[in-house]
Amino acid sequence: MTTRRSPTSDRGGEALDLLFNVVLFRGMPRTMLLELASKLRPIRYRAHTDIFHEGDEGATLYIILKGAVKIFIPSLDGREVVLAVHRKYDLLGEMSLLDDHPRSASATTIEDTEAVSLSRHDFLSVLDRHPEAQRAIIDVLVARLRATNQSIQDAYLLDVPGRLARRLLAIAEEHGEKTDEGVDIGLRVSQQELANMIGASRVAVNKQLQQWRKQDIVDVNRQRVTILNTTALEREYALSQ
């Protein structure tokens, strides 16, 4: 969990509020933040819009302000591997700006999304002029590597119920909202997308969710998944290890 700085209330405060909450800019002097705020370009996307494709040339960094963006690698036969879902204040597209290689994955919105973009030149100039931003980028990359390691470990060591249980618990931990019934996992994903996140078929995911539904462990309503019994789901994960 990240700590959010309290909002500012002066002129230009709105743009500064945004920057304060982005890990890349934490600790940056106010004058530099103000200068940077003027360089950000706002963008809006409807749900299910492609932002860029794997292999594209990367010239822009995106900072998500609202919504959700799926990062995935498409296969030639139309399947896809979902690497991550990025949400509010997450960075997107930093890798190709850093190593000057093409985009390492594709990015598509899964909810209506608002973002701001920063050009490669301005992004690299932030890193050059502000050593704390270099540290912050390392933190982001290390966190992503850890999450990827965990996914590889799960793919090798857990069965489908274990992988699905762990993924639902992880999404709920990050984005979940408590409701009267239980915990809404907070991300609207199709069963196909859930399957793509854990390297399983949609049929296998559907079968497992239906079984848990009968056992009152989860409730599934269109793209809304609610965890009704967290302990039982944790047990499914533990049993799978």
Residues that bind ligand CMP (CB under 6 A): 58, 71, 83-84, 92-96, 103-105, 107, 144, 148
Q: How far is CA 38 from CA 31, 34, 50, 116, in A?
A: 11, 7, 26, 11
CB of 11 to ligand CMP, least distance (A): 32
CB burial readout 194-205, b (16+ within 10 A) else e:
bbbbbebeeebb
Nearer to ligand CMP, 69 or 205 (CB): 69
Orientation angle between helical segments 131-157 and 160-175, nearest 10 degrees? 150
- CA angle (157, 163, 168) in 5-degree steps: 150
Nearest alpha carbon to residue 96 among 42, 49, 51, 34: 51
CB of 184 to ligand CMP, least distance (A): 23
CB of 130 to ligand CMP, least distance (A): 20
Nearer to ligand CMP, 93 or 161 (CB): 93
Which amino acid appears at position 38 of this protein? S
Nearer to ligand CMP, 175 or 213 (CB): 175
Nearer to ligand CMP, 54 or 112 (CB): 54
CB of 72 to ligand CMP, least distance (A): 9
CB of 61 to ligand CMP, least distance (A): 8
Nearer to ligand CMP, 75 or 231 (CB): 75
Residues 183 and 230: beta-carbon distance below 8 Å? yes
